[in-house]
Amino acid sequence: MPEKISIQLGEVQRTLLIPLFGRAAEYEREHPLIRDQFAHDIMEKLDFDFKAAFARSPIQFRINSVIRAIHLDAAILSFIVRYPDATIVNLGAGLDTTFQRLDNGKIFWYDLDLPDTIELRRKLIPEGERNVCIAKSVFDRSWFDDIRERRSRVLFVAGGVLVYLREAEIKRLFLDMTGEFPESEMVFEIYSRLFLWLRNHALTRRALNPALFSKWYWGANSAKAIARWSDKIRVVDEYPFYSRLDLTDDRVKVNLSPLNLLNSGKWIKMVQIRLG
Ligand SMILES: C[S@@+](CC[C@H](N)C(=O)[O-])C[C@H]1O[C@@H](n2cnc3c(N)ncnc32)[C@H](O)[C@@H]1O
């Protein structure tokens, strides 16, 4: 058997393990919500006991990252239908394999993440002519120059990463992007400030391993609040996280406690904006 690959990652970088596990574990189910064999194969190659590590964490954490991937896939597919040769930039890509799942043979795809994440990524996921990694922080604006392929339109995807940044940093980033990438779009999820507090509180209450679960910093109650940052930001789409899904599916139902349902329109939302 080939030797397993060890994981040497900083604190925030290790958060990529949860969504990877979510998609990989889903693949083992008879009727998966998302079929990501690449994630499953990557999990098998890592020297890390996912099942033991996440045994005590709520299943919702994992399923939410699967639901997020379903929403992001839908947004990306719809963008690719409109612009088949689009450029897609995955910010905070982790070990995400959306390009491998959705490639239409024409898009150009960048996966950007911190250097140690990209070092691990390169050991597991080969780059290609139309799929290139950028080993930089989003704060290092030199990554703008690394986006050399600017096809008909650019779509930025930021799944599960903005929560680890501060609002002032995100605002600055978005404003800089409106100047650099006019007419681009960006898709991501937002969590209300109340949800943010409850989630951070749950980490302490359940004494979850801080090496796997980092604190979240950014919450936003609505896309409108983001659009107020600049008249160059326009909301293209905004909808509750627990919508546009098969709500009767057992896996989705796991996350739909009465409290969650009651608040599903407000607590977590998917947002797509136009920049510039
Ligand atoms: C929860 S993971 C999400 C990974 C991936 N989007 C997915 O859904 O599988 C958060 C990712 O954001 C990355 N990240 C955190 N801060 C970052 C920064 N300043 N610049 C670039 N990436 C960052 C981490 O390294 C990690 O891979």
**What is the per-residue pLDDT for 73?**
98
**What is the per-residue pLDDT for 208?**
75
pLDDT digits (tens, 9 = 90+) for 122-143: 999 999 999 999 999 999 999 9
Q: Is 190 helix (H, G, I), strand (E, B) or coil?
A: strand
pTM: 0.95
Q: Give the CA diameter of the chain.
A: 56
The alpha carbon of 82 and the centre of ligand 1 are apart by a number of angstroms equal to: 27
Q: For the sheet containing 131-135, what is the strand order?
A: 131-135, 108-113, 87-91, 154-158, 184-191, 268-275, 233-240
The alpha carbon of 62 and the centre of ligand 1 are apart by a number of angstroms equal to: 16
Q: Is the CB of 159 under 6 A from ligand 1?
A: yes
Contact partners, residue 206, CB within 8 Å, separation at least 6: 56, 57, 58
Atom in ligand 1 nearest the alpha carbon of residue 158: 6
**What is the per-residue pLDDT for 209?**
76
**What is the per-residue pLDDT for 74?**
97
Q: 118-123 long-range contacts, Cβ below 8 Å, gap at least 24? A: 120/5, 120/7, 120/8, 120/9, 120/95, 121/93, 121/94, 121/95, 123/5
Rounded average pLDDT per 10-residue block, the chain, 276 residues:
90 95 92 93 96 85 91 98 98 98 98 98 97 98 96 94 98 97 97 91 79 90 97 97 80 66 76 96
The alpha carbon of 101 and the centre of ligand 1 are apart by a number of angstroms equal to: 19
pLDDT digits (tens, 9 = 90+) for 66-80: 999 999 999 999 999
**What is the per-residue pLDDT for 89?**
98
- Please provide the CATH number assigned to the domain covering 13-275: 3.40.50.150
Atom in ligand 1 nearest the alpha carbon of residue 159: 6
**What is the per-residue pLDDT for 41?**
97
**What is the per-residue pLDDT for 48?**
96
Report the alpha-carbon distance of residue 35 to residue 183 in Å, rounded: 32
Q: Is the CB of 76 under 6 A from ligand 1?
A: no
List the domain boundaries for the chain. Answer: 13-275
**What is the per-residue pLDDT for 24?**
96
